Structure formats: structure tokens, C-alpha cells
């Protein structure tokens, strides 16, 4: 652990800010996943329609990633991070005011702009601030904030949803706005961005790496959102519908261990990626996830098995995400880095991620949720195959 002493206080502060923003991003987006059953009941939605509503958020997150990535390249990574957090916080709170399905769709779509922008700004901020030999670890710690936010959403849902309803739950989504002021006052812009500020910016190169990276995020984000958007509903749905037959409150007890596994996966992936390379670590994780998903989806009648498999699914089903913040930053120059990174990641979220909740929901209507989850294994495998064609970037210096 001698490497810890080589990291400056400023670098730790940047990491904490990005991790906090990503944690609250996760909390806000997962509030919908935990409220899905209650919202569907109130508005009379099928599983496919509920998934399509989640897809609206993911579609606009693609636009938000490109927009806030451009703002991060133009006006600064820290400033863009603040603006994105304010965006998703305000519109998550406004979701609570929805009086119709149209209003609900509009608010959730606007939430997506902020959600996509947070990652585009925060991941580049960390990648440009931390040294090359520890960049994977830093991104791993940042990504681990997602698991904490997921756990926080589960605990809030268990405490608030049964007693006060889903609207009260979304009002809590305004809390991240309070973090934005601290980031604005205490987090500096990276020196790499300051050095090129005011210089002529290039255009996004439609290169082989850009195309492959976008294809990779599209397949992997289909797998992720198809799986984890529906895990809470899978646990809470009746056994006759292919679920595990738990209540929302009880299912939180199964979600928390899964997300503890996810936290460990994010962090350990960063260490493995710095030690062995981005590609081998990623392929190992997605192959393990592909093997676990079908098993998990067929054991809904056995809470003990689900409890045992949950941390493993969380570990391998989330940990590979830590590759994106490092790998994508290492593929593009500083003048367009945030824009390119935001586009690669969020085109994937807008296309693959947005399609997944609807596709898995439609399959769940026909085959049951547990069986529908197995479809995501195909996309985990496809992601591992695509990674073989990208170059290894471990240790790359960012100008």
C-alpha cells in the first residue's frame, strides 16, 4: 500500500468528488428501479411499458453525455460535473409531481441528461488528475460509488416506499444538489485541461478505436441495464411470474449483499487492470458474469441460493465498468477527451442500455422475469469478444 502515500491531497479530493457524484447518480437512477412495481400499478403499465419508461432516461443520457462532455472540454471538467449533478437532482425531485404518464416520461427523460453528463465529466476529471500507474485504481474507486448509491437507494426504498409511496422517494432525489456547491468551491480543474485551454479543438475522430469502443459500450450496457434494471422487480415479483416472491422491504436484504460484492468488484478490477492490463481483466469479469446470470435467474424459489449468488453476481456483473473511465480516456487527446469519452459511453447507454429494459421487460411478459434475465449473457459474451480487437492502453500517459 506504499502507493497511497504518493497520491496528493488534491488528487484524493478530486476522486472523492467524482465518486460522490457517481454515487448520487446511481441513487437517483435506481430510485426508479425500486419504484417500478408501484409506478406500474398506479399508471396501469405492463412490464414492457415500464421498461420503456426506463429506456427514455437512458436515451437522453446519451445526449447528455455528448452535451456535458462538450461543456467539459470547453469550460472545464469540474464545472461540467457540477452542472450535471444539479440537472439530475432537480428533475428527479420533479418526478414526484407527475400527474400523468406523459409528465412522468418527460421528467425521467430530463433526468437522463444529467445522468449521462456526470460520468462524462467525472471520469475524465479523475483520469487526468491521477498518475498513469494508478489510474485504473482511481477509476475503480470512483466506480465503486455506484454500488454505494445502489445500496442507499435500496435502503431508502425499504424505509420510504411502503409508508409514504414512490413520490416521497423521488423527492429525496434533490439531495445531490447540495453536493454541487462543495465541488464548485473545492475541486480544481486538471492541469492537462488548463494547459490547452483556449487552443483550437479538433473534431471527434471516427476512427476504428472510436467505433469499437462505442460498440463495446453498447453491448455491455445492454447486458448491464437489462439485468440490473429488473433485478429488484425479479426479487419482488410473484413466483408464478418467474420472480422470487419477496416484498420490496425483504428484497432489499438481498440487494445490499449484491452491491457489497459490486463495490469489491469495482475496486479490485482497478488493481487488476493496473497490474495485468485493461483487456485481460475485463474479459475475465464479463465471462464470469455471463456464466452466473442464467443460474441466478432460475433460482427464484430458493432465497438461500439467491443470497449466496448475489455477491458474486454483483462482483462480476459490475466490476468490469471500471475499465471505461481509464480505457476511454487513454484513447483520445485532451482537447476532445471528455466529448469523445462521453459520446462513446453514452451512445452505448442510449442505444444498448435504453433498449435493454424494454426488451427484457417484453421477454418477461412472455417467459417470466427470471428466464428473461438470461438473455443478457449473450451481450456479456459479445462484449468480451469486442474487447479483443481494442488495443491495450495500460500505463498510457495523458498529455
From the number of C-beta atoms within 10 Å of its C-beta (0-12, 13-18, 19+), residue 378 rates as middle
pLDDT confidence of residue 267: 95
What's the rounded Cα separation, in Å, for the pair 345 and 276? 23
- 141-193 pLDDT, tens per residue? 999 998 899 888 888 988 899 899 999 999 988 888 888 878 888 888 888 77
Looking at the chain, how many residues does it have? 399
Helix (H) or strand (E) segment spanning residue 384:
helix 376-387
What's the rounded Cα separation, in Å, for the pair 399 and 397? 6
Which domains occur in the chain, in start order? 2-387 (1.20.1250.20)
What's the rounded Cα separation, in Å, for the pair 332 and 376? 29
Q: Is 202 a residue whose pLDDT tops 60?
A: no
Helix (H) or strand (E) segment spanning residue 292:
helix 278-297
What's the rounded Cα separation, in Å, for the pair 285 and 264? 13
What's the rounded Cα separation, in Å, for the pair 268 and 211? 28
Contact present, 350 and 58 (Cβ < 8 Å): yes
- 5-18 pLDDT, tens per residue? 889 999 999 999 99
The mean per-residue pLDDT over the stretch 199-216 comes to 76
Share of the chain above pLDDT 90, in %: 41
pLDDT tier for residue 3 given thresholds of 50, 70 and 90: confident
- 368-384 pLDDT, tens per residue? 877 889 999 999 999 99
Q: Is 252 a residue whose pLDDT tops 60?
A: yes
pLDDT tier for residue 50 given thresholds of 50, 70 and 90: confident
Min mean pLDDT across 131-145, 195-209, 351-365 is at 195-209
pLDDT confidence of residue 338: 86
- 84-133 pLDDT, tens per residue? 999 989 999 999 999 998 999 999 999 989 988 888 899 999 999 999 89
What's the rounded Cα separation, in Å, for the pair 193 and 76? 7
| Residue, of 313 and 192, whose pLDDT is higher | 313
Amino acid at each position: 500500500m506504499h502507493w497511497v502515500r504518493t497520491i496528493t491531497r488534491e488528487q484524493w479530493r478530486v476522486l472523492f468528488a467524482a465518486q460522490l457524484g457517481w454515487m448520487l447518480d446511481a441513487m437517483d437512477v435506481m430510485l426508479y428501479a425500486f419504484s417500478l412495481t408501484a409506478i406500474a400499478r398506479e399508471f396501469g403499465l405492463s412490464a414492457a411499458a415500464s421498461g420503456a419508461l426506463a429506456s427514455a432516461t437512458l436515451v437522453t443520457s446519451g445526449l447528455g453525455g455528448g452535451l456535458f462532455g462538450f461543456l467539459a472540454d470547453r469550460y472545464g471538467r469540474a464545472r461540467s460535473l457540477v452542472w450535471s449533478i444539479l440537472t439530475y437532482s432537480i428533475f428527479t425531485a420533479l418526478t414526484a409531481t407527475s400527474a400523468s404518464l406523459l409528465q412522468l416520461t418527460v421528467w425521467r427523460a430530463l433526468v437522463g441528461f444529467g445522468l449521462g453528463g456526470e460520468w462524462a465529466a467525472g471520469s475524465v476529471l479523475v483520469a487526468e488528475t491521477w498518475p498513469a500507474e494508478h489510474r485504473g485504481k482511481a477509476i475503480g474507486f470512483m466506480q465503486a460509488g455506484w454500488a454505494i448509491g445502489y445500496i442507499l437507494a435500496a435502503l431508502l426504498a425499504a424505509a420510504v416506499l411502503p409508508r409514504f409511496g414512490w413520490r416521497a422517494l423521488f423527492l429525496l432525489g434533490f439531495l445531490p444538489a447540495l453536493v454541487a456547491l462543495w465541488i464548485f468551491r473545492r475541486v480544481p480543474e486538471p492541469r492537462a485541461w488548463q494547459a490547452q485551454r483556449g487552443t483550437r479543438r479538433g473534431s471527434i475522430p471516427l476512427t476504428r478505436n472510436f467505433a469499437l469502443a462505442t460498440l463495446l459500450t453498447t453491448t455491455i450496457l445492454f447486458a448491464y441495464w437489462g439485468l440490473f434494471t429488473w433485478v429488484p422487480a425479479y426479487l419482488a415479483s410473484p413466483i408464478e411470474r418467474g420472480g422470487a416472491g419477496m416484498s420490496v422491504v425483504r428484497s432489499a436484504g438481498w440487494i445490499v449483499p449484491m452491491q457489497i460484492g459490486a463495490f469489491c468488484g469495482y475496486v479490485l478490477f482497478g488493481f487488476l487492470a493496473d497490474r495485468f492490463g485493461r483487456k485481460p481483466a475485463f474479459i475475465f469479469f464479463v465471462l464470469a458474469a455471463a456464466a452466473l446470470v442464467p443460474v441466478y435467474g432460475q433460482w427464484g424459489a430458493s432465497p438461500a441460493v439467491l443470497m449466496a449468488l448475489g455477491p458474486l453476481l454483483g462482483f462480476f456483473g459490475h466490476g468490469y465498468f471500471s475499465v471505461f473511465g481509464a480505457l476511454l480516456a487513454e484513447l483520445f487527446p485532451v482537447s476532445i477527451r471528455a466529448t469523445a469519452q462521453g459520446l462513446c459511453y453514452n451512445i452505448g447507454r442510449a442505444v444498448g442500455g435504453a433498449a435493454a429494459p424494454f426488451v427484457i421487460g417484453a421477454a418477461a411478459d412472455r417467459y417470466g422475469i427470471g428466464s428473461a434475465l438470461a438473455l443478457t449473457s449473450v451481450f456479456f459474451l459479445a462484449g468480451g469478444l469486442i474487447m479483443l480487437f481494442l488495443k491495450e492502453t495500460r500505463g498510457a500517459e495523458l498529455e
